[in-house]
Amino acid sequence: MEEMHPVEAVIAAADDAINREDIDAVMECYAEHAVLVVRPGMHAVGKGQIRQALIAIAEHFAHTLMVEQLTMEVLDSGNTALVVALTRISAKGMEPVDRKAIYVFERGSNGRWLCTIDNSYGHELLEGVHA
Q: Which residues bind to its own copies, rule: CB under 8 A?
A: 31, 33-35, 37, 43, 70-73, 75-78, 80, 82, 84-86, 100, 102, 104, 106, 116-117, 119, 122-123, 125-126, 129-130
Residue 65 or 105: the one with the smaller Cβ distance to its own copies is 105
Q: Which of 93, 119, 94 is nearest to 105 (CA)?
A: 119
Residue 58 or 125: the one with the smaller Cβ distance to its own copies is 125
Residue 62 or 97: the one with the smaller Cβ distance to its own copies is 97
Cα angle 82, 121, 9 (rounded to 5 degrees) comes to 40
Residues contacting 92, CB < 8 A, separation 6+:
61, 62, 64
Residue 74 or 91: the one with the smaller Cβ distance to its own copies is 74
CA dihedral 25, 29, 35, 38 (to 10 degrees): -40
Q: Nearest approach, Cβ of 123 to its own copies (angstroms)?
A: 5
Q: Nearest approach, Cβ of 54 to its own copies (angstroms)?
A: 17
Element (H, E) at 98: strand 97-107
Q: Nearest approach, Cβ of 121 to its own copies (angstroms)?
A: 9
Q: Nearest approach, Cβ of 20 to its own copies (angstroms)?
A: 25
Alpha helices (H) in the chain, listed in sequence order: 6-19, 23-27, 46-60
Element (H, E) at 74: strand 66-77
Q: Nearest approach, Cβ of 25 to its own copies (angstroms)?
A: 21
